[in-house]
Structure 1
Amino acid sequence: MINEQIRDREVRVISEAGEQLGIMSAREAMKLAEEAQLDLVKIAPKAQPPVCKIIDYGKYKYELARKEKEARKKQKTVEVKEVRLSPNIDTNDLNTKVNNAKKFLTKGNKVKVTLRFRGREMAHVQQSKHILDDVAQMLADVAVVEKPAKLEGRNMSMVLTEKR
C-alpha cells in the first residue's frame, strides 16, 4: 500500500535515510513524504503499529524486481532426458545409448531409461529387465538409480541421477 491507500490511525515511520521518525498519524506521515517529494510505502503491514517508509516507490519496485530476477538466475532447473531402448538391442547400439546418457548426466540432467515393448515382446518382459540392469551397471561410476525399473503399460523405465 502506498500514500492515500494507507488507512491506519498510527504508523511507525522510517525516513529515506533509514532512521526512525517515531509513531505518528498516517496524515502526518503523508505530509512528511510530500515535503520530501517521495512516497509513503507500507513495508510491514502485520506489525503493531504498521511500519511505513518514506521512499521513491518506483525505485523501490524496481529494486524488488531486480532482486527477484537475480534469485531466479541463481536457480538451477533439472531436466529429465529420456533414452529409449528396445528388448532386442545390440551391444554397440546399447553402448551408444549409454554414452548419450553419460553425456546428459555430466551436464546435470536426470536420465529416464525406457525399455519399449512392441507386440510379442510383451511375453518376455522379465527376461528383458537385465538390459536396464546392464545400463545401470555401465553407468554406476557416474550415476545412481533414483527410481528402480518398473513396468508401466508397454514400457519399463528407471530414472538415473548424477552421483554426488
Structure 2
Amino acid sequence: MIKNEKIRASEVHLTGIHGEDLGVISTVEALSMAKKLKVDLICTSLFSSPPPCRLMKAGTAKEEVQKAKPKSGKQEQNAKVKEIRLTPQIEDHDYDTKKNQAHKLLQTGKAVLLVVRIQGKEGPKAKELLERLLKDVVDVGSKQTGIQLSGKQAMVQVNPL
C-alpha cells in the first residue's frame, strides 16, 4: 500500500472520501487536498497511468487489506491434499496403518492422494492394492479420478464425502 509522499507519479486519478470521482489532478494538489481533509492519499494500483488514488483514513485502508488476507488463507486450507505412499509388497499390519491414516485424514475433511511406488512389472499388483484400499475407505471418501498408472507409480485421489 503506497500512500502520501511515497506516490511518485506526477498526476493521479483521484476518488474522493465518499467514492465521488474527482478526475485527473496533479499529485501535489491531491496531497494538499488530503492534508486539508485530514486523510491520507492512498494509491490503489500501480498498473495504470495515471495511477488511481483514493482519499481515505489510514485505518480504513489497513482494515481493507486485513479483511482480504484471511479469506485467501481459508481457501488454501481447504485445498490441501495429503499424500500416502505405499509399495506393492506391503505387509498386513503396515497396510492397516496406512488405511487408518487415510481414514483419519478423510474424516477431518482433507483429500488423500494414494501413491504406490512401482519397480519392474508390479503394475497389476499396485492397481489391485489401490482397489482394495478404495473399498476400505468407501464409507468416508470417494475417488476423484480413476487409478492412474504412470511410469514408476500408480495413484488415485480420494476426496472426503
Please indicate the TM-score interval, normalised by the length of the shorter structure: 0.5 to 0.7
1:139 matched to 2:103? The reply is no
CA contact (8 A) 2:110 2:160 kept: no
Letter in 2 for 1:7: S
Instruction: Please give the alpha-carbon distance, in whole angstroms, between the structure 1 residues aligned to 2:96 and 2:148.
Output: 19
- Structure 1 gap ranges (5+): none
Summarize deviations over 1:45-96 as a string: whole Å, max 9, x none. Answer: 788986543223x435522431232223422241323142432533x54344
TM-score (norm 1): 0.66
Greater gyration radius: 1
Instruction: Please give the alpha-carbon distance, in whole angstroms, between the structure 1 residues aligned to 2:48 and 2:123.
Output: 63
CA contact (8 A) 2:130 2:156 kept: no
Task: Name the counterpart of 1:162.
Answer: 159
CA contact (8 A) 2:84 2:98 kept: no
Task: Name the counterpart of 1:68.
Answer: 68
Instruction: Please give the alpha-carbon distance, in whole angstroms, between the structure 1 residues aligned to 2:130 and 2:21.
Output: 69
Q: How does 1:10-49 map to 2 (within 5 A)?
A: 11-15=13-17, 18=18, 20=20, 22-23=22-23, 25-26=25-26, 27-43=28-44
CA RMSD of aligned residues (A): 3.5
TM-score (norm 2): 0.67
Q: Report % sequence identity.
A: 20
Instruction: Please give the alpha-carbon distance, in whole angstroms, between the structure 2 residues aligned to 1:123 and 1:53.
Output: 65
Summarize deviations over 1:125-159 as a string: whole Å, max 9, x none. Answer: 43453222211222233221525141533xx3212
Q: 1:145 to 1:95 in 2, by over 3 A?
A: farther
What secondary structure does 2:149 align onto?
A: strand
1:152 matched to 2:154? The reply is no
Letter in 2 for 1:78: K
CA contact (8 A) 2:9 2:50 kept: no
- Structure 2 gap ranges (5+): none
Instruction: Please give the alpha-carbon distance, in whole angstroms, between the structure 2 residues aligned to 1:162 and 1:3.
Output: 49
Count of aligned positions: 154
CA contact (8 A) 1:87 1:116 kept: no
Which of the numbers 81, 86, 89 marks the counterpart of 2:88?
86
